[in-house]
């Protein structure tokens, strides 16, 4: 039961991170002046989470 909960939580976390990454892209009107800082930071977090998932740590 716990594995199912953590698996679902990991999947939801990945979906949320992907949506945040898409929302922070500088091509949108509200984030055009932000530069690549927010999307780069979120991309780094996403890469770290994917690596941890592949290693079996999450």
Most confident of 2-6, 26-30, 45-49: 45-49
> Model's pTM, two decimal places?
0.54
Q: How confident is the model at residue 5 (pLDDT cuts 50, 70, 90)?
A: low
pLDDT at residue 12, rounded to an integer: 84
Structure confidence by residue, pLDDT tens digits, 15-37: 887 787 777 766 666 666 777 77
Tally of CB atoms within 10 A around 13: 15
Cβ burial, residue 21 (10 Å; 0-12/13-18/19+):
middle
pLDDT at residue 25, rounded to an integer: 67
Share of the chain above pLDDT 70, in %: 72
The first and second tokens of residue 27, run together, are: 């091509």
């Amino acid at each position: 039961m716990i594995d199912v909960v953590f698996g679902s939580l990991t999947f939801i976390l990945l979906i949320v991170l992907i949506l945040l990454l898409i929302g922070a892209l500088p091509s949108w009107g509200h984030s055009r002046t932000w530069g690549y800082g927010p999307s780069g930071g979120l991309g780094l977090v996403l890469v770290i989470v994917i690596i941890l998932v592949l290693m079996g740590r999450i």
